[in-house]
Structure 1
Amino acid sequence: MADVATKPQTRAKGQETARRVRKAALRRFAATGYAAVSMREIASDVGVRPGALYNHFPTKQDILKDLLLSHMTDLLEAWETAVFSDYTDPLEQFVRFHIRYHLERADEVFISYMELRNLEPQNFSLVEAERRRYEAILTGILQKGASEGRYDIDDAKVTTRAIIAMLTGIPTWYREGGHLSEQEIEDLYLTMVRKTVAPVSVQSQTETG
């Protein structure tokens, strides 16, 4: 009976250690880059022997893959459960959601884009597939808006990537307490996105108005 009782405790302890490994690795990767970080440094931050890390992540590459896939999984789940009671325009919903989510996770955003190049081909394919799933959300919004005459775009997928790149860049320069609030940033970027996809006639009216 004692052995049975200790199994959940052992499992919980292992999960907690894995969580701490992810947290330490995330901090290290964001600060100095994946290539400069050793498993020994991560183990030291967690407070375990280097060999203990291999019970959870066989290689440093496995940690990076886990971090990047977890980021995309959490992002997609957050979108699926998001509530937009104040906004009815799908494009506005996406822009505001993307900015808010990413501003709260600057380290995750940084390594998710900067460390893609360090993924092995198979792992890169896994992460890239999840990124395409997220991009497809915005692409669908743009394609529907274009079919209804509300947007004027030449290539929905290219426009999607341009918009996401612009929005994702915000955490690299935004600092809390600056001259712009998060709400003001959302409003400014939403205006820029709308101008990017607006029909020429609407753009002309905005400029002359």
Structure 2
Amino acid sequence: MARPSGSNADVTGPRVREAAERLFARHGYAAVSMRQIAGEVGIGAGALYHYTPDKQTLLFEMMRAHLDGLLGAWAEAPKGGGPLSRLDAFARFHIRYHLDRPDAVFIAYMELRSLEPANFAAIEALRKRYEAVPEAILREGAAAGDMVVPDPKLAAMALIAMLTGINTWYREGGRLDRASVETTYADMARGMVGARSPK
């Protein structure tokens, strides 16, 4: 199917995804229509289908892109040596990455219920890959005697929930700057496993 006259797939395609992300985060996936997305981009509703087959595909692709980006960024992030250093690195990384993407983070957690079964399974697999990162750190730390972690899987989920919660309250220009928040959360992560903060 030919694209609308004057359009550029490399420009309009990303604009469609960005508009959908804003609208899904603001109103919820179920409340947003394809016509609203097209209007946000400034194209006709029929033209939208040149860039995506349907709304479900838009949701799935933006969630997959978010998680692929998250996993890729962690793979490239400096991690330090032992498990305590890696726990500190993970906490700081998670805060930095998520603070810059509040809409994507909100959708990734709140719209899982909106995914069709096959799409849910694919996204859940990516989420589990990321959740395995802190779990492995905590298991190693417990085995080394550096951490007190009776249930590493549960502790990993609690850690991720604590770190991700920053997006519900942090605002630029508030009482705390990003560096202070990052350090405080890293200290709390260590405290969760009975490890002292570095001097």
Does the 8 Å contact 2:21/2:103 carry over to 1?
yes
Determine which of 133, 150, 155 is the counterpart of 2:129: 133
Work out whether 1:195 is the aligned partner of 2:184.
no
Distance (Å, rounded) in 1 between the aligned partners of 2:48 and 2:75: 33
1:78-102 superposed Cα distances (whole Å, 9 cap, x missing partner): 11112358x9810000000000000
Determine which of 176, 179, 188 is the counterpart of 2:172: 176
TM-score (norm 2): 0.90
Distance (Å, rounded) in 1 between the aligned partners of 2:79 and 2:150: 28
Determine which of 85, 96, 99 is the counterpart of 1:100: 96
Quote the residue 1:54 is aligned against. Answer: 49
User: Highest CA radius of gyration, 1 or 2?
Assistant: 1
Letter in 1 for 2:188: M
Quote the residue 1:40 is aligned against. Answer: 35
Q: Which has a greater percent of helix?
A: 1
Report SS of the residue matched to 1:89: helix
Report SS of the residue matched to 1:154: coil
Does the 8 Å contact 2:88/2:189 carry over to 1?
no
Query: What stretches of structure 1 of length at least 5 have no aligned partner?
Result: 1-9, 203-209
Distance (Å, rounded) in 2 between the aligned partners of 1:84 and 1:130: 20
Letter in 2 for 1:13: N
Identity, % of aligned positions: 50
Does the 8 Å contact 2:63/2:108 carry over to 1?
yes
Letter in 1 for 2:127: R
Query: What stretches of structure 2 of length at least 5 have no aligned partner?
Result: none
Aligned residues: 191
Report SS of the residue matched to 2:50: coil
Determine which of 162, 167, 171 is the counterpart of 1:166: 162
Report SS of the residue matched to 1:194: helix
Distance (Å, rounded) in 2 between the aligned partners of 1:198 and 1:57: 48
Q: 1:84 to 1:156 in 2, by over 3 A?
A: closer
Does the 8 Å contact 2:79/2:90 carry over to 1?
no
1:117-168 superposed Cα distances (whole Å, 9 cap, x missing partner): 1111111111010011111111111111111001111211111111001100
1:34-90 superposed Cα distances (whole Å, 9 cap, x missing partner): 1110000101111211122222211111100011000000111111112358x9810
Query: Moved runs in structure 1, 4+ residues, more than 6 A?
Result: none
Distance (Å, rounded) in 2 between the aligned partners of 1:166 and 1:120: 28
TM-score (norm 1): 0.85
Quote the residue 2:108 is aligned against. Answer: 112
Letter in 1 for 2:70: L
